[in-house]
Amino acid sequence: MSADTWLAQLHENGYRITAARRAVVEMVAKSTHALTPLEVYDLGRKKYRALGLVTVYRTLEKLEELHLIQRVHQPMGCQAFISMGQGHQHLLLCQNCGQAEYFEGDDLEALTKSISKKTGYQINEHWLQLFGLCANCR
């Protein structure tokens, strides 16, 4: 997913393309790490000096709305965002460098069926996230 695709998505949904949004989108789209609003702000200002932190918050909000990014939950905090994966994918995070990667292929069908029977719950969704050390850090 390139920054241009995201900008096109914003435009299609009636949002205007501005220098501020370009800066935010570009930085988040190309990052392999989850970024906090403040990190996006710092990075974004390298592209567009006048960028305001408030605009970062507002732009991230819109990107999340359009499912272009997602919030990443980690032991140390849940304020960071990362580019959304394609289809049904889950995150694999490096505990050392923060590098993030998507994976797919989890089959929890059997598990959810069994849990559903045991508990009486109708299971609608699951969150799965792996933590470890990336090839470089291990």
Partner DNA sequence: TCGGTAATGAAAATCATTATCAATAACTAT
Partner DNA sequence: ATAGTTATTGATAATGATTTTCATTACCGA
Site membership for DNA, residue 48 (CB under 7 A): yes
Q: For residues 9 and 116, what is the distance between their CA atoms, to the nearest angstrom?
A: 38
Instruction: Tell me the torsion sign for CA atoms 51, 96, 2, 129.
Output: negative
Site membership for a second copy, residue 97 (CB under 8 A): no
Nearer to DNA, 59 or 83 (CB): 59
Site membership for a second copy, residue 5 (CB under 8 A): no
Nearer to a second copy, 54 or 111 (CB): 111
Site membership for DNA, residue 36 (CB under 7 A): yes
Binds 8: which of a second copy, DNA, none (CB < 5-8 Å by kind): none
Closest by CA position to 52, among listed 61, 40, 63, 62:
40
Contact present, 53 and 39 (Cβ < 8 Å): no
